[in-house]
């Protein structure tokens, strides 16, 4: 029986513990722990399952659109991601992208935009995607080159986006493009582009070490109504950062799910593997490693759920979310590597649980802000706080 005493921490309400327990039971029955060879079909099926079971209602906001609440409960989405990641990395991906892909519409969309897209996202009937990164503009959003030019009642998009999760299977994309109101990041706007829009094509499907649908998008004279712009012109950077701020802490939670599963696997291996007349767990080196793994997981969990709790109290969590994301993803990498080492040669056999975890965790140290970017954010916030104290 997995230890769930962390659900008694003061960060959580009784409803959070009930949510985790219900999802864990559902996932045991409905989610396979194997990677499907047809990743696109598996992802579509997971979105439908998560929507039909009501879990995607937590990924959006607004009761009238089918959401679980009027605002997104950060602790809830973190618990959901942690639980799904422990069972199946693609299930976590499917849930997370429904939230991230529609987050800008939740936060800044018009009533018409919310009504058109959010109910379908919540029911698992429409797959969402978030299209921000470009070949020459990843962490440096201000270097964005994809352009959207106003032409009467329309905008015309030209350019490329890459590393787009759900690329190729999404029903719509929230796309960020340069509209030129001001230089740099202040001249970017956000748009909803339906997958069937003329001029949008999938330029390349990208194969990565963990099986997720990923693609490079190309826009060539892609004409969309001006009513598809999200928020005001030139506010795209604000829209993107606010959306990422909602979900960044949940990346740490997904890493926790991977790490907890790795520790579970390591404990089973250590207590069951016979070696030199005793079991692996009898060796002090093994005990030391298990202690480090468990301590790292708890430390990362405390940072993660502190950030989630603070955000749910309406506080700014720029520094706290960065600390959580950095610590949880780096710790999970170390925990999974240690678990794989305990399995020896079996650990690198394709589709073994620890081998799958080893491939799943690596991307989390990069996307939604690489570890190095999180370090810069933390330092920047510390220096800003120190300057404000001196004033």
Cα dihedral 311, 143, 161, 176 sign: positive
Encoding tokens for residue 79?
Answer: 């618990």
Residue 171 and residue 218 in contact, taking contact as beta carbons nearer than 8 Å: no
Encoding tokens for residue 256?
Answer: 């926790």
Cα dihedral 190, 231, 245, 106 sign: negative
Residue 259 and residue 335 in contact, taking contact as beta carbons nearer than 8 Å: yes
Residue 368 falls in the annotated catalytic set: yes
Distance CA 248, CA 235 (A): 20
Radius of gyration (C-alpha) of the chain in whole angstroms = 21
Per the residue annotation, which of 320, 368, 381, 385 is the catalytic one?
Answer: 368
Distance CA 92, CA 100 (A): 12
Q: What is the DSSP string of 287-330?
A: HHHHHHHHHHHHHHHHHHHHHHHHHHTT---HHHHHHHHHHHHH
Q: How far is CA 250 from the centre of its chain?
A: 6
Query: What residues act catalytically?
Result: 368
């Amino acid at each position: 029986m997995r230890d769930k005493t962390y659900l008694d921490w003061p960060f959580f309400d009784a409803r959070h513990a009930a949510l985790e327990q219900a999802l864990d039971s559902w996932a045991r029955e409905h989610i396979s722990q194997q990677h499907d060879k047809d990743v696109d079909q598996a992802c579509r099926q997971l979105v439908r399952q998560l929507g039909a079971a009501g879990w995607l209602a937590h990924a959006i906001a607004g009761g009238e659109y089918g959401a679980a609440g009027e605002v997104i409960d950060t602790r809830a989405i973190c618990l959901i991601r942690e639980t799904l990641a422990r069972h199946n990395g693609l299930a976590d991906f499917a849930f997370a992208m429904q939230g991230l892909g529609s987050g800008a519409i939740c936060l800044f969309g018009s009533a018409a935009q919310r009504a058109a897209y959010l109910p379908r996202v919540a029911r698992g009937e429409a797959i969402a995607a978030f299209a921000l990164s470009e070949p020459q503009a990843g962490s440096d959003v201000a270097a964005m080159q994809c352009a959207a030019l106003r032409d009467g009642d329309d905008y015309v998009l030209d350019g490329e986006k890459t590393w787009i999760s759900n690329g190729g299977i999404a029903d719509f994309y929230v796309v960020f493009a340069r509209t030129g109101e001001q230089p740099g990041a202040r001249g970017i706007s956000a748009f909803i582009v339906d997958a069937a829009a003329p001029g949008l094509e999938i330029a390349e499907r990208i194969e990565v070490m963990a099986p997720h649908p990923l693609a490079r998008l190309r826009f060539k004279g892609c004409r969309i109504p001006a009513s598809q712009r999200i928020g005001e012109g030139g506010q795209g950077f604000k829209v993107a950062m606010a959306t990422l701020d909602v979900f960044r802490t949940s990346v740490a939670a997904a890493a926790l799910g991977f790490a907890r599963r790795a520790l579970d696997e390591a404990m089973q291996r250590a207590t069951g593997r016979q070696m030199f007349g005793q079991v692996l767990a009898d060796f002090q080196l093994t005990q030391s490693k298990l202690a480090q793994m468990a301590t790292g997981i708890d430390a990362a969990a405390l940072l993660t759920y502190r950030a989630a709790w603070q955000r749910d109290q309406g506080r700014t969590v720029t520094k706290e979310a960065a600390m959580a994301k950095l610590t949880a993803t780096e710790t999970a990498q170390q925990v999974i590597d240690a678990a794989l080492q305990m399995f020896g040669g079996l650990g690198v056999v394709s589709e073994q649980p620890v081998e799958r975890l080893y491939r799943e965790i690596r991307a989390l140290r990069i996307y939604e802000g690489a570890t190095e970017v999180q370090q810069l954010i933390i330092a920047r916030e510390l220096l800003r706080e120190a300057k404000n104290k001196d004033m």
